Amino acid sequence: MKYLSSTALVLIASVSTAQSSTCTPGSVVDGTTVTCSGGGIFAPGVVGPSANNVTVVITGGAGVGTTDPADPGGQAIIELGDGGSITQSSGTILKSTGPDAATIEVGNNLTLSNAGMVTTVGNESRAVDGGEGANIVNTGSFTTSGEDSDVINVDDGAYVWNRGTIQSNGKGSDGIQVGKKSTVINNATIFAAKDGINADDDATVTNSATIRAGSDGIQVGDGGNHAPGAGANVTNSGNIYAGKEGITGGDDLVIVNSGNIYATDDAVQIGERVHLTNSGLIENTAVAGQEPQDGLDLDSGVVINSGIIRSTIDAGIDFDGSTTDSSVTNSGLITGTTGILVEKDVTEGANLAAQTIQNSGTIEGTAGIAMDLGAGNDSYVHLTGGVLLGGADFGTGEDSFFLTGTPVGTLGGDPLALFDGGLDNDLFDFGGYAFTDLVSVALSGAVYSLELLASGATDSLFLNLTSWEAFRFSDGDFTQADLAALTTPAVPLPAGLVLMLSGLAGFGAMRRARR
């Protein structure tokens, strides 16, 4: 913002031609209303950076601004002090052609209602540049073409509601950028060369329409120093298409998605203690040959999924380094090369916390591992209707696997799928199955291959287990020794299972270095 020390009156100039738009009165004091109306030839604007509480009404097909060729720049078309109020009706035009020349530049507490067309052409020329407390409603269009020319850039405590079109075409230009404790609502269209919406800490962002961004679709800061899940809110029921992250933000965020998020980087990337509810689609759209990225990348928090979280070239959900426990409740689809992956590489900052997973949907690892859970006392609950496609590595910590009821079929969806309890004392709970329901127990190396058939049932459950120290059945607790006593003579381990077992230990090393 440019503020002058002068307390001069607002200066208003107009082109001396019968067809010109005119702005009256010609000079005003604080609190005066200026009306711009007339025909289609542009006139110079309203300049009074120290005039406060000025109201500008642009109506009657007026065109206010500078014409091509571009002027030298450096001067906003409408420049006011604090409390400026601007109303632009349908069919009117505000235009800036010079560099460093915003169309509208106002101090704090701007009120702007636009139903017309606002454009800038030069570099570093924002359509709207304002201070704190701005209130902006758009049902018309805002367009910038120059580099580093955000469409709307205002400070803390802003309210921006878009029901028209917001478009930034120049390199490095955001659609909407707001400060802390701001609210942004998009019910129409945002096209941005850089970020669609960029908001600072404690912001609330709602999208029910379309955001297309060359970089991030929606970027927010932290939720602040609040209890988990009580910070900034991002709600998407529309469509977000992003060249980088679809939604990205800091810690203590609440995100609710019932729409579609497509991104070539992580579709959603967020920090600590977040709360994400998804009933829509969160998808990484990168293809083979591009840098691997995830569907959802977070440090810690609560994930509730009844929709789809997907990556075809990396993890469906990736937990980065953290010491804060997390949970995933899934009744939808989580799919990636690894369905749920927890960072194990200490050089990258290993995740040492516990992950608790409840699954009544599908968790799929297209590379063979549905869950790779790393360190911490992890827990998985296989609820009725749950499907695992791929094995699991529970890593270090005192881990637990709980079956519910008496599921049948092949656990993991493949006869070679292996469920590895990892180091420390781990518990496998067979749910409704009794120890006497064991039909066969085969031991090959350290792998137990089990078949169970519940009383009165016709279909069996098949699974491969290793490194589980305790087993709980409906009729009691048992040990590895109890299982070993039931084993049939050892048979050679299938070659594929040998490769899978040996590969689990080194799987983390294959994880790409990121950030």
Strands (E), 230-386: 233-236, 239-242, 247-248, 254-257, 260-263, 268-269, 274-278, 281-284, 296-298, 301-305, 308-311, 317-319, 326-330, 333-342, 355-359, 362-372, 379-382
At 23 the pLDDT is: 82
At 498 the pLDDT is: 41
At 339 the pLDDT is: 99
At 40 the pLDDT is: 60
412: DSSP letter: B
Cα–Cα distances in angstroms (integers) from residue 199 to residues 213, 376, 400, in the given order? 15, 34, 40
Q: Which parts of the chain register pLDDT below 70?
A: 1-21, 26, 28, 39-44, 67-71, 224-232, 488-515
332: DSSP letter: S
Determine the distance from the C-alpha atom of residue 395 to the mean position of all C-alpha atoms in its chain, rounded to a whole number.
28
| Cα–Cα distance, 142 to 86 (Å, whole number) | 14
| Amino acid residing at 393 | D
* pLDDT tens per residue across span 216-225: 999 999 986 5
At 16 the pLDDT is: 33
Strands (E), 324-361: 326-330, 333-342, 355-359
At 4 the pLDDT is: 37
**Residue appearing with tokens 């579709």:** 267
Asked if 86 and 110 count as a contact pair (C-beta separation under 8 A), the reply is: yes
**Which of these, 423, 389, 391, 386, lies nearest to 403 by C-alpha position?**
386
* pLDDT tens per residue across span 473-490: 999 999 999 999 998 654
| Amino acid residing at 343 | E
Residues sharing a CB contact under 8 Å with residue 466, sequence separation 6 or more, in sequence order: 418, 419, 420, 421, 446, 447, 448, 501
| Amino acid residing at 79 | E
At 43 the pLDDT is: 59
